[in-house]
Structure 1
Amino acid sequence: MESEPTAELIRAQLRRLRLKAELSQEEFGKLVHFSGSQVSAVELGQRPLDRFFLRRADEVLGTGGLLTSLLKLADRDGQPSWLRPWLDAERQAQQLRCYQPTLVHGLLQTANYARAVIRTDDMISDDEVDRRVAARMDRQSVLFGSDPPKYLAVLEEAVLRRVDESFRGLMTEQIGHLIECAGRPHIHVHLISAEVSMHVGLVGPLSLARGRDGGWVGHMEHQLGGVVVDSDEDVAILLSRWESVRSEALSRQQSIELMKDVRTSWT
């Protein structure tokens, strides 16, 4: 769910701006394509905050994007406590190195792929799935802003092939997105060929962020969350593991060609 203090602030600002514009809930609802009762439910906290609704509200009320910006802040504050330190390191990084043995890394996922991954947890509600997908897409802005970090990702070829017929379209879209991202000068995507049967990275995913001070911070995920690694000794181990994993991967251009071959196999 959204971080409650920030969510309350959004609802209060929405009501204040609507009243300042001298619009009833019914009148405002017509302008944002919602019913008056739905507007009331949002303002009272009886309905989850909706990105489309707040985007339309910003346009109608001329806020300059205030409400959607506050929702991004609420999403960030609503992230699990174990993830927040890594998100801060990610946003401030000059270089990111990420290895994922079983999935496409989150910063490279399409919305449809992210939804399929998140939906595998059947304990999550549809509203929470929507919130997590939106938060993941917002998180990707770190790669596409005005001063993005150099981003190096290593993925397993098997990740792009381990799908069934029902995911054909989803994977075709996802691989196309990977190819597009890999064509950007600051993004390097490397594949480890399926012919490489065993290497140290298969123990689990790892990420590393190099800050503006030149220092490194690591992150490792597991079934119950994740852990930030910042001691010199542990970071040194992760950097060594990264170098071992990277040495197993194909070159940048070879990886792009392999991604194109895999995409063709799915089309």
Structure 2
Amino acid sequence: MFKTGDKIQRGAEEARDDARPAWLRPWTEHEQRATMLRSFEHSLIPGLLQTEAYTRALLRNCRLPDDVIERTVQVRRERQAATVDRPKPPMLSALIGEAALGYGPADVMREQLTHLVEASRRPQVQILVVPRTAGLHPGLAGAFVLATLPLRHRSVYLDDQLRGRTVTDGADVDELERSWEIVRGLALPVNLSQDLITKAINDYH
């Protein structure tokens, strides 16, 4: 009718196939363009570094329906493919609270922590553990990810119990960068972080 060939039909099919929630789409587009990603998680493994088994175990314990779990796993897999697993990945610097190394079924956590160690050997991935002895710090207010985009543009992803949101206001991004740097200063160096993760793997045996 509109002389567009199959463009509208293909667009409708793509929309149906896009499992991402509408609120997540702006952030995933930033992830795909990012030259650097800096994340902080206190009690969970960051999504871009999660194994499928870890993601499923986490979502099952949230008592979510199977179709929601599978859709979320699909989205997470696609995000990993578009960022850390793409041919020219961004630099990923992940701060992970030590507590995150101790939550989960033994078989799932052995695989997940082994994956962290293997990922940390990639030249574009830096994993730093924030020890329990770090005490109170601004990161405890919640998880977040900072994205550095081309031409030095920046954005932040903030997560909560219901949904995440993308923040681009310069003053807000500055404040969260400040928080990240404070927590970064409390983290263990790369080699000691790997040692702590390896110890956690052995503790699950």
State TM-score, norm by structure 2.
0.90
Deviation at 1:78, TM superposition (A): 3.1
For 1:138, the equivalent position in structure 2 comes to 78
Deviation at 1:128, TM superposition (A): 2.4
Deviation at 1:91, TM superposition (A): 0.6
| Ranges in structure 1 where 5+ consecutive residues have no aligned partner | 10-69
| Ranges in structure 2 where 5+ consecutive residues have no aligned partner | 1-8
For 1:185, the equivalent position in structure 2 comes to 123
Question: SS where residue 153 of structure 1 aligns?
Answer: strand
Q: 1:257 to 1:223 in 2, by over 3 A?
A: same
Q: C-alpha separation between the residues in 2 aligned to 1:219 and 1:176? A: 26
Contact in 1 for aligned 2:96/2:127 (Cα 8 Å) = yes
State TM-score, norm by structure 1.
0.70
Q: 1:113 to 1:239 in 2, by over 3 A?
A: same
Contact in 2 for aligned 1:6/1:74 (Cα 8 Å) = no
Q: Does 1 or 2 have the higher relative contact order (CA < 8 Å, sep 6+)?
A: 2
Q: Does 1:152 align with 2:93?
A: yes
Summarize the alignment of residues 2-21 of structure 1 with structure 2, pairs less than 5 Å apart. 9=13
Summarize the alignment of residues 162-177 of structure 1 with structure 2, pairs less than 5 Å apart. 162-163=103-104, 167-177=105-115
Summarize the alignment of residues 178-217 of structure 1 with structure 2, pairs less than 5 Å apart. 178-217=116-155
For 1:64, the equivalent position in structure 2 comes to none
Deviation at 1:6, TM superposition (A): 6.4
Q: 1:153 to 1:6 in 2, by over 3 A?
A: farther
For 1:108, the equivalent position in structure 2 comes to 49
Give CA deviations for 1:45-74 in whole Å, capped at 9, x if unaligned: xxxxxxxxxxxxxxxxxxxxxxxxx6xx75
For 2:188, the equivalent position in structure 1 comes to 250
Given candidates 175, 178, 197, the residue that maps to 1:240 is 178
Q: Does 1:98 align with 2:39?
A: yes
Contact in 1 for aligned 2:19/2:75 (Cα 8 Å) = no
Q: C-alpha separation between the residues in 2 aligned to 1:215 and 1:79? A: 24
Where has structure 1 moved over 4 Å in runs of 4 or more?
5-8
2:160 is aligned with what amino acid?
H
Contact in 2 for aligned 1:150/1:186 (Cα 8 Å) = yes
Contact in 2 for aligned 1:157/1:194 (Cα 8 Å) = yes
Give CA deviations for 1:216-251 in whole Å, capped at 9, x if unaligned: 101111112122111111110011011011111011
Give CA deviations for 1:65-101 in whole Å, capped at 9, x if unaligned: xxxxx6xx755x3322211111110010000001011
Contact in 2 for aligned 1:98/1:105 (Cα 8 Å) = yes
Deviation at 1:8, TM superposition (A): 6.5
Q: C-alpha separation between the residues in 2 aligned to 1:208 and 1:199? A: 17
The structure with the larger Rg is 1
Deviation at 1:7, TM superposition (A): 9.6
Q: What root-mean-square deviation, in Å, do the aligned CA atoms of Structure 1 and Structure 2 show?
A: 1.7
Question: SS where residue 213 of structure 1 aligns?
Answer: helix
Question: SS where residue 195 of structure 1 aligns?
Answer: helix
Q: C-alpha separation between the residues in 2 aligned to 1:91 and 1:192? A: 27
Give the aligned length: 196
Give CA deviations for 1:30-58 in whole Å, capped at 9, x if unaligned: xxxxxxxxxxxxxxxxxxxxxxxxxxxxx
For 1:31, the equivalent position in structure 2 comes to none
Deviation at 1:201, TM superposition (A): 0.5
For 2:5, the equivalent position in structure 1 comes to none
